[in-house]
Amino acid sequence: MMKETAYIINTARGKIIVEQDLIDAVKEHKIKGAILDVIKTEPPKADDPMLSTKGILVTPHISHISNQSLKALKDYALSNQLSVLRGQEPRNPVV
């Protein structure tokens, strides 16, 4: 049992949450709300109740974006490119 002041936060996979149960829990004040960067169906349809339920905030699957994460991605890509140019294996080759 969760406290009525609890929030569900999901940045993993949309399918791990039973959406109708979450909607019901928020509407019935069993939990305070939810913040979701992922939902079961992406992109969501305009009439998806996850988008219109008061107390549920859905972000467009980009919550990782920040100046710090963008710099890390650029550094990682550059490191992989330099590895290949030096004749080395990249860290995460796609095969």
- Supply the residues annotated as catalytic: 13, 42, 61
Q: Which residues are CB-contacts of 63 (< 8 A; sequence separation ≥ 6)?
A: 11, 37
Tell me if 32 sits within 8 A of 6, measured CB to CB.
Answer: yes
For residue 29, give both structure tokens: 């004040």
Can you tell me whether residue 17 is helix, strand or coil?
coil
Q: Which residues are CB-contacts of 5 (< 8 A; sequence separation ≥ 6)?
A: 32
